[in-house]
Structure 1
């Protein structure tokens, strides 16, 4: 757990404030499905799935990444990166920051939050 949190902090420092600005990497689209709001982001070619999830959540909440709860409390970061990087057809879904977060192997991040 400590190693994953350290990895996350190092990753955030490497990416810096840019991780907070989703529009620097990709467009966000939002749709409403019943009582849910669904946000879709594309990860950048030079970021890990973990970094993309944090960037998406930080942008969605207009927060700095360091102000979010540790992603490692929701899912092992190294496992997320390893699983998602195995292929385009991989999908990993978990709960983070009160949302259902799905990471697709093709780089799409989907964050579903209750309306």
Structure 2
């Protein structure tokens, strides 16, 4: 794992949107209720309908100061916005 990044895999029944919110809250060391609502950045229901899939779809978006990538296989990356993905 790169310094400044977290990689999460959905291995529980949690939805991708819930996993993103929980992951960012964990990075911020705060309650999920204390960070901006996900719906202000992306439609959580649409995100949940897209994933998991056959692996052909991936979406990246900025949320609460982090660059979030959700892969079709359920893998989720949460990186500081300033971290280059190629690092």
Which structure has the bigger radius of gyration? 1
How many aligned positions are there?
A: 82
Instruction: Compute the TM-score of the two structures, normalised by the length of structure 1.
Output: 0.64
Aligned to 1:18: none
Structure with more relative contact order (C-alpha pairs < 8 Å, separation 6 or more) = 2
Q: Give the alignment of 1:1-115 within 5 angstroms.
A: 30-32=1-3, 37-113=4-80, 114=82
Question: Where in structure 1 are there 5+ consecutive unaligned residues?
Answer: 1-29
Note the alpha carbon deviations across 1:40-70, whole angstroms, 9 max, x for none: 1112331110011011111111111111100
Runs of 4+ in 1 over 2 A off after TM superposition: 85-89
Note the alpha carbon deviations across 1:55-114, whole angstroms, 9 max, x for none: 111111111111110000010011111112333232111110111111112111111102
Instruction: Compute the TM-score of the two structures, normalised by the length of structure 2.
Output: 0.82
Quote the RMSD (CA, aligned, Å): 1.5
Structure with more of its chain in helix, by fraction: 1
